[in-house]
Amino acid sequence: MLRSMISLLSGGLFGTGLMLSGMTDTTKVQGWLDVLGAWDPTLAFVLGGALLPMAIAWRLTRDRSPLAGGHFPAPAASTPDKALIVGSMIFGVGWALAGLCPGPALASLSFGGWQGALFFAAMISGMWMAPRLRLVLDRGPAKA
């Protein structure tokens, strides 16, 4: 029950913050990526603002347990692998193309129209395909 309410509260704050900051507006996100055009610095303020409470939160995880029980995540994991590098670059291209990433795509579902719904359906399909693609990536190119 406590875990459910914490998750609901967190999702609600996240959605409110995304909407308030303008990150559900694809023109603002694409404007941030458009360094050759009318560059929009908003995203830097959003990210900077978000890092502050999070950095404090990470500090507070020392010598404590989560409120709803269990354990905090293990220390920041290992070194980058091929999937991290390739995946991040693929994500960046898709992000530029539509100006949407997973958080804002979800937060804007109620007002994003058919365009938002279509992007969302394609994103879910991509997420479903990813584990299979990861196997290919880990195995390397097929040998003739």
Partner 1 sequence: MGLAGGLMIGMAGAVYLLGAGRIMGASGIIGGLVDGSGRDTAADRLWFLGGLIATPAVLMVVFGLTPSTNASSAPAVLVLAGLLVGIGTRLANGCTSGHGVCGLSRLSPRGIISTALYISAGMAAMAILRHIWGVI
Q: Which of residues 17-56 bind partner 1 (CB under 8 A)?
A: 17-27, 30, 33-37, 42-43, 45-56
Question: Would you call 98 helix, strand, or coil by DSSP?
Answer: helix
Shortest Cβ 40–partner 1 spacing (Å)? 9
> CB burial class (10 A; 0-12, 13-18, 19+) of residue 39?
exposed
Is residue 102 at the binding interface for partner 1, with CB under 8 A as the rule? yes
CB of 143 to partner 1, least distance (A): 22
Among 63, 137, 141, 143, binds partner 1 (CB under 8 A): 137
Verify binding: residue 6, partner 1, rule CB under 8 A: yes
Place of tokens 């939160």: 57
Q: What are the C-alpha distances in Å from 45 to residues 22, 79, 110, 140? A: 11, 28, 25, 39
Which residue reads 């804002």 in tokens? 104
Question: Is the CB of residue 72 less than 8 Å from the CB of residue 65?
Answer: yes
Which of 62, 63, 80, 142 contacts partner 1 by CB under 8 A?
80
Determine if 91 is a binding residue for partner 1 (CB under 8 A): yes
- 79 near partner 1, judged by CB under 8 A: yes
